[in-house]
Amino acid sequence: MTGTGGIPEPVIVIAGIAVILASGCAVITAILGVDSLGRGYRARKFPLLEHEKDVAAALGWRWRSWIALRAAVVIGGVLVGVTTQIWLLAALLGVVGFFGVRFAVAGRAARRRLRVERAFLVQLRVLRDRMAIGNQSLDSALQEVGRNPGPELAYVLESWARGGSVTGNIVECGLRSRSPIIEHACVVLIWARTRSLDGLIAAIDDVLIPVGEAQLAVEEESLVTLTQQRAVTFAMSALMMVMFISIVRVESFRLYYETASGTIVLLLAGATFFALIAMLGRIARVAEWTRWDLVRIQEQELHPHG
């Protein structure tokens, strides 16, 4: 008993009934409620793009230079792949080039960010001493600190040296840092800034410095985990690459990997490798921090009940 195009009739009937029931269920879903999947990050933030900007800032690079480097490595990877005449390898090297650069510099970026955060905490102590011992006002203390920020914080604290709106300068410092801990400290500075300097000094003494040190301790522990994860991933990648280069150099093996079945095997091996790397990433996961929208904090500070 066959129907259209040789498909058995019972199959057509059962599949048709299933489609009708599925449509009915979809209509019920539409009537009863709509899921809010995809909510999480606010609409104007793209997590992937923001992460790229964070890495560039942590390296102390301009955003455009970072993107140019990524593009150059991807193109270079594809070109190397093309010269081997194994097309899948060209695509694979392109993907490795895209994700690999970020991974390769992630350790350096994390170490530099930690150095910047430590230096920021030192500058907070200097700021506190200038106000408490040197009897300076907040804006003049900020300007003094901004003029001698040290090499790590030169770009981040540049705005403090300018003068003008104190809150605006603190916001710009946080935005430039793209570091959760510095952003966090800037949020507290914005809220702690009142007409009385004593309140601000007490907030730095009792809240910012002790909590900042606790946050740095968490960050240091995360760096240890990240270093472990990266060391193992590098070792695994090197092993895989050496093995692959050795195999491709053998004529019979290279001929096999140019065939369709060889391509499938290569795909499976690559997928297994990336799955293992992903597994490693899940095992050695580092601490996450809340990121604050400093411009919105500034608005809320002006109109807290607005």
Subset of residues 82 to 111 that bind another protein, contact rule: CB under 8 A = none
Q: How far is the CB of 239 from another protein (least distance, A)?
A: 7
Q: Is 236 in the site for another protein (CB under 8 A)?
A: yes
Instruction: Find the part of the chain contacting another protein (CB under 8 A) among 71-79, 96-104, 159-167, 221-229.
Output: 221-229
CB 171 within 8 Å of CB 295: yes
The whole-angstrom separation of Cα 298 and Cα 187 is 9
Identity at 292, one-letter amino acid code: W
Q: Which of residues 17-46 bind another protein (CB under 8 A)?
A: 18-19, 21-26, 28-29, 31-37, 39-42, 45
Q: Where are the beta strands (DSSP E) in 107-245?
A: none
Using only C-alpha atoms, the chain has a radius of gyration, in whole angstroms, of: 28
Q: Which of residues 177-216 bind another protein (CB under 8 A)?
A: 184, 187-188, 191-192, 194, 199-200, 202-203, 206-208, 210-211, 214-215
Q: Which of 137, 221, 234, 241 binds another protein (CB under 8 A)?
A: 221
Q: Which of 11, 68, 122, 154 binds another protein (CB under 8 A)?
A: 11
Q: Is 154 in the site for another protein (CB under 8 A)?
A: no
The size of the interface with another protein (CB under 8 A), counted in residues, is 100
3-state secondary structure of 2: strand
Q: Is 258 in the site for another protein (CB under 8 A)?
A: no
Q: How far is the CB of 192 from another protein (least distance, A)?
A: 5
For every residue of 72-124, DSSP letters joined together read: HHHHHHHHHHHHTT-HHHHHHHHHHHHHHHHHHHHHHHHHHHHHHHHHHHHHH
Residues in the chain, total: 306
Instruction: Between 5 and 151, name the residue whose CB sits nearer to another protein.
Output: 5
Closest CA to 281 of 240, 233, 239: 233
The whole-angstrom separation of Cα 288 and Cα 219 is 9
Q: Which of residues 261-300 bind another protein (CB under 8 A)?
A: 261-262, 265-266, 268-270, 272-273, 276-277, 279-280, 283-294, 296-297, 300
Q: How far is the CB of 69 from another protein (least distance, A)?
A: 26
CB 144 within 8 Å of CB 136: yes
Q: Which of residues 49-78 bind another protein (CB under 8 A)?
A: 50
Maximum alpha-carbon separation in the chain: 97
